[in-house]
Amino acid sequence: MKILVPIKRVIDPYIKVRVKADHSDVETNNVKMTINPFCEIAVEEAVRLKEQGIADEVIVVSAGGSQCQEQLRTALALGADRAIHVDTEDKIEPLVVAKLLKALVEQEQAQLVITGKQSIDTDNNQVAQMLAALLDWPQATFASDVKIEDQKVQVVREVDGGLLTVAMNLPAVISTDLRLNEPRFASLPNIMKAKRKPLDTITPESLGVEVVFSQTIQEVTPPAQRKGGIKVESVSELLDKLRNEAKVIS
């Protein structure tokens, strides 16, 4: 079985993002970039399935400018077998990403796609579901446990109010939640090895997908700053303020 794992290049989540002075976007110049954390979890899960002998090949794919090859190399160092770079402009919309992935799934005859549930930049949380819809495959979003046996996948999903365990037949799409696994660190020998693994660059046209945009970002603004309040000295002063000043308790 082949597993396809799409990954996205994003600003390092531990860096505080700054909005550009002209409010056109957030600042990405000279900012550390990384593989989206949820995508990294997806790569780890796919590699584990290969290590368990359930998958034969893990293919990672990223769509964007040539810089996203860095993140593809990282994924190869984590254990993916080969990479596909869809060379296109950055910031393509989720539906277009889903169309590119659909074409690749069909080309590669992948049986399982594991995606991150969302990217930590645009926070859209759309690609897995859109891809599953386009392929007419079942989807298990927000996965915190995945088991595969005899063409059947059982997934524990993190949903509001608890956990939901579902079963579906392959082929299928899974999106990862934070607690699915803890990704390994790439070892130096594996980083070296990754440099020799195959990385193909293709175009959206070769997949028969037109890159179109239906959404325009008019403006990006920083959040309203919450001003710090006052310090109280005691529990009774705190309760007095909450009852008589803020009036949020009785």
Partner 1 sequence: MKNLIIAEHDNNQLHADTLKVVNAASQVSQDNVLLVVGYQCAEVAQQACRVDGISNVICIDDEQLQHQFAESIAPIVVSVTEGFDAIWASSSSKGKDLAPRIAAKFGVGQISDIVQVVDENTFIRPIYAGNAFAKVTTSDNVRVVTVRASAFDPVSCHNQADIEHQQVTISSPMVELVSVDKTVSERPELSAADVVVSGGRGVGSKENFALIEQVADKLGAAIGASRAAVDAGFVANDLQVGQTGKIVAPKLYIAVGISGAIQHLAGMKESKVIVAINKDPESPIFEVADYGLVGDLFEVLPQLAEQL
Using DSSP's 3-state secondary structure scheme, residue 247 falls into coil
Using the contact rule CB under 8 A, the part of the chain among 10-18, 46-54, 55-63, 192-200 near partner 1 is: 10-18
Residue 95: how many CB atoms within 10 A of its CB?
17
192 sits near partner 1 (criterion: CB under 8 A):
no
Q: How far is the CB of 25 from partner 1 (least distance, A)?
A: 9
Closer to partner 1 at the Cβ: 9 or 157?
157
- In terms of CB distance, is 17 or 199 closer to partner 1? 17
Please, which residue, 123 or 188, has the CB nearer to partner 1? 123
DSSP secondary structure, 65-100, as one string: SGGGHHHHHHHHHTT-SEEEEEE--SS--HHHHHHH
Instruction: Give, for 167, the enclosing helix (H) or strand (E).
Output: strand 162-169
Q: Which of residues 50-89 bind partner 1 (CB under 8 A)?
A: none
29 binds partner 1 (CB under 8 A): no
Interacting span for partner 1 (CB under 8 A) from 41-49, 73-81, 82-90, 214-222: 214-222
ω into 6 cis (within 30 of 0): no
- SS3 at position 164: strand
Would you count residue 94 as binding partner 1 (CB under 8 A)? yes
Cβ neighbours around 152 below 10 Å, total: 12
**Residue in 131, 194, 207, 209 binding partner 1, rule: CB under 8 A:** 131
Residue 142 in the binding site for partner 1 (CB under 8 A): yes
Residue 170 binds partner 1, judged by CB under 8 A: no
Structure tokens at 139: 């989807």
